[in-house]
Amino acid sequence: MKKTPKDVDAYIAKAPKEVQGKLKELREAIRKTAPDAQECISYGIPYYSYKGRLVYFAVFKKHIGLYIPPPIIKKYKSELEDYVTTEAAIRLPIDKSLPIAFIKKLIKAKMKDNKNKEEKKNLAQKKDK
């Protein structure tokens, strides 16, 4: 995708036809799991924010990249043995069905992580006053 899409609908529309259904399914899972998350385009890909960075996704030739900021992937590493992962990314093969229930589990974990960080930050600010 050469030109940065204006929104997630445009991003999905520019993706190859054979993967658009999976991208819609992934988007729906994110929105259902984190209904209060803000959806936008960041770094040219779909991005969701909930009390901080929550999740990004991007389509590639053979996989969909799901990007969840640390430490979530490390925490669930044993359940991700069937996937290529990095500290903040999971490669979801295009030729396999998406593990939606597991993706929702990861998003919930990141939401909790973000909420805890926000609470700690708020406590620290109250102590400084």
pLDDT at position 121: 85
64 falls within a domain: yes
Question: What is the tens place of the pLDDT at every residue in 91-110?
Answer: 999 999 999 999 999 999 99
pLDDT at position 2: 63
87 falls within a domain: yes
Instruction: Please report which confidence band the pLDDT of residue 125 belongs to, taking 50, 70 and 90 as the band edges.
Output: confident
Total structural domains in the chain? 1
Question: What is the tens place of the pLDDT at every residue in 22-61?
Answer: 999 999 999 999 999 999 999 999 999 999 999 999 999 9
Burial environment of residue 8 by CB neighbours within 10 A (0 to 12, 13 to 18, 19 or more): buried
The DSSP result for 41-108, as a single string, is EETTEEEEESSSEEEEEEE-SSEEEEE--TTHHHHTGGGGTTSEE-SSEEEEETTS---HHHHHHHHH
22 falls within a domain: yes
- Model confidence pTM above 0.75: yes
Q: Which CATH number characterizes residue 97's domain? A: 3.90.1150.200
75 falls within a domain: yes
3 falls within a domain: no
Domain that holds residue 117: 8-128
2 falls within a domain: no
50 falls within a domain: yes
